[in-house]
Amino acid sequence: MGKLTKFFNDAVEEMQHKVTWPTYSELQKSSILVLVGSVVFAVIVGAMDFVYDSTLEWFYNQF
């Protein structure tokens, strides 16, 4: 049990003193970047889906 307690104490110590936490403005910039990237990715995937769907629908209607 002593090793487990030491592990958690060391983890807390590292999180408090050794981790470099971002500032609020850095966090905002990173969050906006992730949001914009996610929207761009969603639009690209949605456009690909629309093209594939339209192409297959056209193809199936030919027969």
Could you list the residue range(s) of the whole structural domain that residue 36 is in? 2-62
To which residue do tokens 């981790």 refer?
19
Average pLDDT over the chain, rounded to whole? Answer: 95
Q: Per-residue pLDDT for 1 more than 80?
A: no
What gap in Å lies between CA 52 and CA 58, rounded to an integer? Answer: 10
**Average pLDDT, integer, range 36-59:** 98
What gap in Å lies between CA 10 and CA 21, rounded to an integer? Answer: 17
How many domains does the chain contain in total?
1
Regarding pTM above 0.75, the answer is: no
